[in-house]
Amino acid sequence: MRARHMSHLKWIVMGLTRRLWVRATLFAAAGVVTAFIGVILGPAIPAGWSPEMGADSIDSILQILASSMLAVTTFSLATMVSAYASASSSTTPRVVELLIRDSSAQTALATFIGSFLFSLVGIIALSAGVYGEGGRVVLFVSTLGVIVIIVATLLRWIDLLTRFGRVGDAIDRVSAAAEQAMRARVASPCLGARMRLGPGPATGSVASLKVGYVRHVDVAALERLARRAGGEIHVEAAPGAFVDTVGPIARLDWAPDEEARRALRDAFDVGARRTFDQDPRFGVVALSEIAAKALSPAVNDPGTAIATLGALVNVLSILADAPDGDGDVPHPHVYIPPLHVDDVFDDAFSPISEAGAGTLAVGIRLQKMLLSLSRLGRPGVQASARRQSRLALERARRALPLEEDVARLEGLAAQF
């Protein structure tokens, strides 16, 4: 199956759709348009329907709707900000990005804003005498529909608030994002390019004009550039890498002109923070941070660390399905370094084994989880799991005071 790779334009559009203000603006515009529908459809409504349907009460209904939606919107914003702060302090600040882009929370807030503007525009239009008898009927029916939407949204919003930003919810969100990114990387180990194993060519190189993390690489754009030049592009900075204005982000086997340099830089999206989409290691790092913070003396919650270890194993087990070669290569003139299993295991388990070296329950669960990963049958995964088991055991030997506890961990590590 041919893997789909995200273009730069699609990446920008996806980023915009995750912004709260974009969804709120769309819903607000929809509310304003709905309020004005009565002006257009009003002449088609037969005279005399307004009193029979109770449309004369629309003024008071809209007044109640406007005041209540303003209060609900303010409360929802305060609740979301409080959830962001709570999740950041109890888990990791990296999870806040996932909370901010939650579609259910954004839809709820956007619905409340859109309903407020709908009622506000309706009140203004009624006061200005824009609606006739038929228009009041259309506005009355539209208001009933808006009320149904508000009730359904409130019920979903209440259900979401019971878990929004909690530790378990944060682990689930980060795990889902990391799993999605890992599956995408396993399906296409080099983002649709060829696997780069050695050093790149020294003929030409291009550095970034920004300092930050590579968040997205438009491999299709690099392929078009390489085809036009009749050469190859060897990417030095894959998604997740930190770049500056000195080190090259790509090497080429030809000397690029200024236009080619500009086109190559445009294919790299560099920002101040890493993102989860093309960077599976970032999700693994976030999960490891949650576990390490839970094991800190200020929190002292080994149960959360143990639960996070289960999520990490679920994400890392996907590596066992990785193909041996490049996989699907729709961009044969671009070379990208593969995801190294040792690096992923270091991101996942080194902080946990360091923070939990003196906690026997965490040490036992860590050895069992690593043993489970080693049984997946993937040589690279087996070697990395064995290495992490040895490191965790050495750290525990220095931290655990009882020989009996160390012996239990040694027995588990011996099963490798």
Span 71-83, pLDDT tens digits: 999 999 898 899 9
> 56: pLDDT confidence band, cut at 50, 70 and 90?
low
Q: Does one domain contain both 138 and 203?
A: no
pLDDT at position 132 is 66
Distance of alpha carbon 65 from alpha carbon 55, whole angstroms? 15
Look at 26 and 177; give whichever has higher pLDDT: 177
- The total number of structural domains that make up the chain: 3
- Around Cβ 227, how many Cβ atoms within 10 Å? 13
Strand, coil or helix: 128: coil
In a domain, 1, yes or no: no
Is the pLDDT at 4 greater than 80, yes or no? no
Q: Does one domain contain both 211 and 346?
A: no
Q: Does one domain contain both 239 and 251?
A: yes
> 38: pLDDT confidence band, cut at 50, 70 and 90?
low
pLDDT at position 259 is 92
> Among 271, 300, 326, which residue terminates a domain?
271
The string of pLDDT tens digits covering residues 328-373 is 688 999 999 888 899 999 999 999 999 999 999 999 999 999 999 9
Lowest mean pLDDT segment, chosen from 223-227, 243-247, 327-331, 338-342: 327-331
The string of pLDDT tens digits covering residues 61-72 is 888 989 999 999
> 20: pLDDT confidence band, cut at 50, 70 and 90?
confident
Share in percent of the chain as helix, strand, coil (round to 5): 65, 10, 25
In a domain, 235, yes or no: yes
Q: Does one domain contain both 238 and 297?
A: no
In a domain, 3, yes or no: no
Q: Does one domain contain both 132 and 194?
A: no
> Among 244, 271, 298, which residue terminates a domain?
271
| Contact of 126 with 62, CB cutoff 8 Å | yes
> Among 106, 131, 165, which residue terminates a domain?
165
Domain extent for 387: 173-185+277-413
| 347-383: burial string, b at 16+ Cβ within 10 Å, e else | bbbbbbbebbbebbebbbbbbebbbebbebebeebbe
Lowest mean pLDDT segment, chosen from 17-26, 42-51, 113-122, 321-330: 42-51
Q: Percent of the chain at pLDDT above 70?
A: 90
Is the pLDDT at 8 greater than 60, yes or no? yes
Tell me the whole-structure pTM to 2 decimals.
0.84
